Amino acid sequence: MLSQAAVSFRSRYSSALLAAAAVSGTAYAALNQEGTGVAHADAAKPAATALDPNEFRAFKLKEKKQLTKNTFLYRFELPDNQTSGIFTASCLVTRAMFKAKPEDEKPKAVIRPYTPTSANEARGHLDLVVKVYDQGVMSKHIDSLKVGDTLDMKGPIKKYPYEANAKKHIGMVAGGTGITPMLQVIDAILANPADKTKISLVYASVSESDIILKDKLDALAAAHPGQLSVHYVVDKAAWGGLFWKGSQGRVSKELLAAQLPAASKDSLVMVCGPPGMMVAVSGNKAPDYSQGEVSGILKELGFDATNVYKF
């Protein structure tokens, strides 16, 4: 179950996205550029892609696969063997209509952001990895979908403007489903032989069985030794940690100092996870959902707003 702080955070974020979704065209795009108010031309959808940044479209659920006890991969069909239009780094928003109270005359839109885990160039399908929360209105709705049912999606929404080799070393700190935007960046870097950017990922989960897409991460690390390193952290490992090769406990200053690049103009640390982890590691975003100041462990390690990005 989510903590009260997490529920409050999700509620505020969803309200902001709902307001943004009511705006059309370039104004909508501008509202989603991390609070900058600047519309980006490259957020426009090429003609042959399935998603549209200016309107919600319905996509059929094609397949559902369980990843952990409460996390699932949902594969949606893209028409005419199209690509989604998602690029690195960007996300989409989902929409569903609900009556908040039985006495409500009309349903209201609930909006939630997700980062697809399918490759940007994948044709005919789009994958969302979703953790189903007890109090998660949208996650429970997605989980209730049957094959053939549809979900409204809109995007892409530009996040971090990634450029190959712009940084020599990118550190990543992810918690839970916060791994999804990290995977998008990792996939883009490793798919480009000309991109020599080094990646160091610290991925925190409750337990070993809660690690999402571990097989994929391990395979990528094995295929790209020296470029991608992955270090897992769990609250408490099974069997007293006898067979566990990662860390136990909370993400600490000592751990991040050992695993991440040092603060410099040539390094960047990306952070994404539950509110409590964000506060401890980097600080949450500002109330207007711009990046805000850097605090927590990363500030103690010498990082600032120039070399930290909060998804």
Cβ atoms of 91 and 114 closer than 8 Å = yes
Separation CA 250–CA 308 (nearest Å): 20
E strands along the chain, which residues? 57-66, 71-77, 90-98, 108-114, 125-131, 150-158, 169-175, 198-205, 228-234, 247-248, 267-272, 308-310
Would you say 180 is a known binding-site residue?
Answer: yes
Annotated binding residue 203: no
Q: What gap in Å lies between CA 99 and CA 170, rounded to an integer?
A: 43
Rounded Cα distance between 251 and 69, Å, is: 23
Asked if residues 251 and 259 have their Cβ atoms less than 8 Å apart, the reply is no
Is 102 annotated to bind a ligand? Reply is: no
> What DSSP string describes 290-303?
S-----HHHHHTT-
Establish whether 193 is an annotated binding residue. Answer: no
Q: Residue 153 and residue 79: Cα distance in Å, rounded?
A: 14
Is 68 labeled as ligand-binding? no
- Asked if residue 167 belongs to a known ligand binding site, the reply is no
User: Residue 182: in which H helix or E strand, if any?
Assistant: helix 179-190
Distance (Å, whole) CA 131 – CA 212: 10
Q: Is 289 annotated as a binding residue?
A: no
d(CA 270, CA 282): 9
DSSP string, 37-90: ----GGGSPPTTBS--TTS-EEEEEEEEEE-SSSEEEEEEE-GGG-B----TTE
268 vs 272: CA distance, rounded Å: 13
Q: Is 177 annotated as a binding residue?
A: no
Going by the annotation, the residues of the binding site for FAD are: 112-114, 129, 131, 138-139, 180
Going by the annotation, the residues of the binding site are: 112-114, 129, 131, 138-139, 180
